[in-house]
Structure 1
């Protein structure tokens, strides 16, 4: 194994970092406080070819894999400009459409997803389903030569930035009585689709929405892949979401640790830098160790996915480790700054909200522990 970036990855990291650095942490913090999307950064990255680094070349993308997309996600966060929209549009939607979409769907959506001029977000979560995808109540029923969608989706990210939704709906029932799920591409301006912003106290550029699908009719060509195979298809995208989410967490941790180390070098109390005191240095050192360990598991998970190998275990472990590392890093960085850690001047608090969110989504830490207990240790299923 080679633990160093190859030349291509070094160049990619440098190019993404150079763009992100022009915007920087102040840009992100201002947009997070205002709840305004980072559209200028997104457009610049898209024009440079980095939003669609994992889109096949025949559709205008970079032809890379999840390893390259994770690197983009990490480096953006490491420059203080994490983008959650990458997790849903570039990770889930690109991976699902490229793998399971029809020729028409790939031709329609992948070029825009490649250059960032189009975004597709995912509508899976529901008020009464949560982590239990089998309890999805949104239905898709045959309606002539098309489909009729009815139901409610909850906590859907970036609807205001999206051109379409990848909607997960119940389209039938198996012989064992379990719901059969199917995926549909639905335009965000479809008649009958009503979006309601969800008020959030956390500071993020991305907004959250409730969606109500009131007799939303879509054509037959909106069905993605095979009818009733949506559970398998969506999980082909959820592992990439967890891996890019882990990469974002790693980059976020690296950014705030860099800020904290710089502050601890410059800030002097009792005639020496505060970083000389172990009470300040050790939490930062421990967070750095945890961050590097999470980075290794993230690289492994992306490597497995790109080779078509089972990546669920590694993806879950990477997301867990990165979320814990990011939250510990932000907390240590804020503590290092003392009262300045809560000031707008130093801009750390928006990153605490994002790091705290990573413990919950995508997939909360308790469900990851359930997964590892059952699948890695062979313990009885607890839920």
Structure 2
């Protein structure tokens, strides 16, 4: 069994690092101060072809593997950048690729690959339905030639940087569905064409992350905007969620490794009471422990990505690796913050910026407590706890 990355993957990682070197700490720090979107960075990633990594070559993409895609974002965050600004462009197209019609694939995938169309907005969560997607209330009523949609979504990120909106709705009320996983339908909505039927209101957060609540008022879509069969949207959605968790894990691992390197270097250089603070076990042990946990999480990520690329079930592994990586990265963030002491909250050192970003991953794209509940019930056979 070979645990090494291939020469091609290492070359790819080096190329990503070289691109990110053009956007150093000062670039990200300034954007953080202005609460601004990294448009230049996203354009550079698009032009280099990294955001089209998972799109097959026949549609203008690179045709890379899920592991490759996760490694790309791992390197992005390892440099101190923030891949969450554009990571959805890599995986949201998966529903179109795997379940869309030939016409939809030909129409959208080449433009998503070259960046002339952005598909980054993903409408799933609602005010009264967080992780319980089956309880969403946004409803698509069937009419002649299409549907009329009404409802509300929360935490739709990058809406104002998107041309297309991937939207999950109910087409059968929850109470009337034969199976509770039936009756959900997935649509691909042209935001500009939708006009005033879609209204997004930004939600200010503690990190520089553009996210919104979206009000949907008599949105008219055609049958051609539906992805796959009516009522099967939940199963299509799972494909995107598994990809999201594996890709996000790359970002999480990158953050964790960034913290480990910064903290190790600072602990070795910072002298207090005539000795480097890194000579104290109280400083070095938390860093070492976080490093080991990150290494273990990376191996688990590679397994989950392998299963995804083989077309095998990977929901359990995707959830587990997101949990393991986010806990290890948060452990690294806390170790770095403690190591830097007062300087950890000083913006010029960037620890506080990445610390805030890393905390988000314990909650999104799935809450860690929900992962534990799912593993306990579905993997270990214990009674349902929620």
Match of 1:203 in 2: 207
CA RMSD of the aligned region, Å?
1.4
SS at match of 2:215: strand
**Cross-structure match for 1:84:** 84
Indicate whether 1:230 and 2:233 are aligned.
yes
Deviation at 1:103, TM superposition (A): 1.7
Q: Does 1:100 align with 2:103?
A: no
1:331 is aligned to 2:330: no
User: Gaps (5+ residues) in structure 1?
Assistant: none
Superposed displacement of residue 231, structure 1: 0.6
| Structure 1 residue 322, shift from structure 2 partner | 0.9
Which runs of at least 4 in structure 1 moved beyond 4 Å after TM superposition?
A: 176-179
**Matches of 1:48 and 1:347 in 2, distance apart?**
26
Alignment of 1:229-268 (within 5 A): 229-268=232-271
For residues 253 and 155 of structure 1, the distance between their equivalents in structure 2, rounded to whole angstroms, comes to 24
**CA drift at 1:179:** 5.2
CA distance in 2, matches of 1:89, 1:181: 23
2:153 corresponds in structure 1 to 153
Residue 26, structure 1, aligned to residue 26, structure 2: yes
Using the size of structure 1 for normalisation, the TM-score is: 0.96
For structure 2, which runs of at least 5 residues remain unmatched after alignment?
A: none
Q: CA deviation at 1:270?
A: 2.2
TM-score w.r.t. length of structure 2: 0.95
Alignment of 1:25-174 (within 5 A): 25-91=25-91, 93-120=92-119, 121-172=121-172, 173-174=176-177
Tell me how far 1:244 sits from its aligned partner: 1.1
Is the CA contact (8 Å cut-off) linking 1:140 and 1:170 kept in structure 2? Answer: yes
Q: SS of 1:375's equivalent? A: helix
2:269 and 2:213 map into 1 onto residues whose CA distance is 46
State whether structure 2 residue 381 is matched by structure 1 residue 378. Answer: yes
- Corresponding residue pairs, total: 380
Equivalent residues of 1:73, 1:86 under 8 A apart: no
Distance, in Å, in 1 between the alignment partners of 2:111 and 2:351 is 33
Change (3 A) 1:354 1:143: same
Q: Deviations over 1:106-142 (max 9, x none)?
A: 1222123223343212100000011111111000111
Q: Does 1:181 align with 2:184?
A: yes
